[in-house]
Amino acid sequence: MNKRFAIVIVLGLAIVGYVVFNSFPHQGLAATDVSSMESCYTGPSPTIDAKVITPEKKITFDGIAYIAGHGGHIAIIDMRTMKPPTDVMNDRIVLTEAGSEMEGKIAGMDFETVKKAGGTHGQAILTEGGNKVLVAGTLDGNVYKIDLATGKKSGPFKVGEKFCGTIVGPDGKVYFEDMADGNVYVWDSEKLKTVDKMPIGKAVCGIQWTKNAKKAYITDMPTGIVYVYDWTTKKKIKEITSPEMTFIHQARMTPDGKYLWVSAPNEFDPGLKPGTHKSQVIIIDTAKDEIIKRIILPDDVRPHDFGFSKDGKYAFLTSRTYADDSKLVVMDLRDASIVEEVSACVSCHKPNGIEVRIDKGSPLLCGLEINWLAKK
């Protein structure tokens, strides 16, 4: 009888403990709790508002963020501290002079040119000879290589006309999306030469692939179209459009390959008229190739590119404020809440007396690449 009584007591305590534990909200998210993250994409509402909240504890990550900008340099944010860059010598990589994406040739049309060369706009990390190398494209169609261990820079190498995104493809080659001629340029980083060129749209900005590399998605900035390509045949199979995608930038695949995030800051309406739509993230289901969710962002969060934490719990947005700053924004994917905003521009510009003279005085960020580090 005593043994049976003990077993009953233990089971009773276990049940009570379970009920009490689950009656309180939890700050963390268990590694196996996928349903709460999935609801961010598949909940009943077609839209979700991104609320800004302040977490109890500062959220950090084991990585270094490299963020391109129109100023001609790449801002560096140490995600282990999430402190804004302030040192002009150590917190940035200078590649070229300043320049704007809305100058010169765009989608085959000629606009006023203020600078002869463009700023930085996108970069990708590769491993060559055991070393990590940053390959960056610029708004004058040039490419640079930076050894992240030594800081040694090589280039420029002339490849295209006006680059937006820079992505490593499934074949290990670097893919540059061109806003001037609508081509995707394929570049061999080791041989330093262009190996292919694909005409896609008017002013393409980003390209991503499904995990099996059967499909590719290419964003066309001024038309607001996401092209879906059969990557085996290199033939277009679909165009994804929406009245809420009037002016788009880059796109990123979620770590599980199920969803494509498309940046839709919507600065302009069709015909490059002043924008009238909310800034947002468009989420595409890659199994159906359909838009299944829209995350509506605050007016001062205008995304250009994305990244994701390795566990898929957080998204990172390079965001333009169209004021005196641009930021790295951290989003919790349980509910699409904004839990961190790190200044990437004014924190360095202001103390060093730097004045932005292009883009109506607003420093604009572009592509994001994260160098994930081994945990110490």
Asked if the 35-372 domain carries CATH number 2.130.10.10, the reply is yes
Assign 297 a pLDDT band (cuts: 50, 70, 90).
Answer: very high
Find the mean pLDDT for residues 304-321. 95
Average pLDDT over all residues of the chain: 87
Instruction: Measure the CA–CA gap between 165 and 21, rounded to whole angstroms.
Output: 46
Assign 104 a pLDDT band (cuts: 50, 70, 90).
Answer: low
Could you identify the residue written with the tokens 């009570």?
16
All structural domains of the chain with their residue ranges: 35-372
Find the mean pLDDT for residues 87-94. 88
**Quick one: pLDDT at residue 351?**
82
Find the mean pLDDT for residues 84-88. 90
Find the mean pLDDT for residues 85-93. 89
Assign 9 a pLDDT band (cuts: 50, 70, 90).
Answer: very low
**Quick one: pLDDT at residue 234?**
96
For residue 225, pLDDT beyond 80: yes
Specify the DSSP class assigned to residue 275: P
For residue 368, pLDDT beyond 50: yes
Could you identify the residue written with the tokens 């015909």?
271
**pLDDT tens digits, residue range 203-222?**
999 999 999 999 999 999 99
Instruction: Measure the CA–CA gap between 6 and 173, rounded to whole angstroms.
Output: 65
Find the mean pLDDT for residues 331-338. 95
Q: How many residues does the chain have?
A: 376
For residue 137, pLDDT beyond 90: yes
**Quick one: pLDDT at residue 13?**
42
**Quick one: pLDDT at residue 115?**
54
Please give the helix or strand (H or E) that residue 41 lies within, else none.
Answer: helix 35-42
